[in-house]
Amino acid sequence: MISDELKIIFLHPNKCGGKSVEKALWEIEPFPGSADHRTMQAHFNENEDRALSYFKFMFCRNPWDRLVSIYYGRKQILGVKMPTFREFILSANPSEDPCRAQITWIKTNVGIQIDFIGRFERYNADWNKLNFMMSLPHVNKSKHKPYKELYTQDLIKIVGKNYKEDIDFFGYSFDDFCDENIDFFNKKSN
């Protein structure tokens, strides 16, 4: 999602609340397939000057919670026939959609490119830091138990291994929503 008027680029990893941002900023009514999931590298390939000069932001989410949301979102919202949750986690690939690692949205040939990373776990507070002066709706929500109730010890370890780069970069652990000491507001990464 790009706004030439606001000079912003919004990066939208799956199931990180991005359709809410799309509705708030671009007034897009969410429907299956309406999300723009382009990566920062794709933006660089399309228009490097814009990619360098516009304010770039995204929201991240605890990988264990995100995979639960992807699973139930596909099942409930998209109506996809899904395997068991265990089978889904065993087959989740951090290199492929819909389970692609979140860090892939901000990695480019010239390094990490992002100005602001908000957290799904504190969505409204981080949204307010962006000063868009509008409320954020909550759309495209799937229904499920808290993510911690759905994992066995072996599945916790598998996600921890497969999504290690996300976990380390964004500061997550299975037991904690996020490391509150990590704040990406106005951070420029190289």
Q: What's the pLDDT score for residue 190?
A: 32
26 domain residue, yes or no? yes
Sequence letter at residue 170: F
For the stretch 100-120, pLDDT in tens is 999 999 999 989 999 999 999
Tell me: the pLDDT tens digits for 125-137?
999 999 998 888 8
Decide if 85 is inside a domain: yes
Q: Does residue 50 belong to any structural domain of this protein?
A: yes
pTM: 0.88
The answer to whether residue 175 is domain-embedded is: no
Q: Classify residue 10: in a domain, yes or no.
A: yes
What CATH number is attached to the domain comprising 111?
3.40.50.300
What is the model's pLDDT at position 176? 67
What are the 10-residue block averages of pLDDT along the chain, 190 residues in total?
95 93 89 87 96 96 96 84 96 95 95 94 93 85 87 97 96 73 42
Residue 190 within any structural domain of the chain: no
In a domain, 80, yes or no: yes
Assess if residue 180 is contained within a domain. no
Number of domains in the chain: 1
- Domain of residue 165 covers 2-170
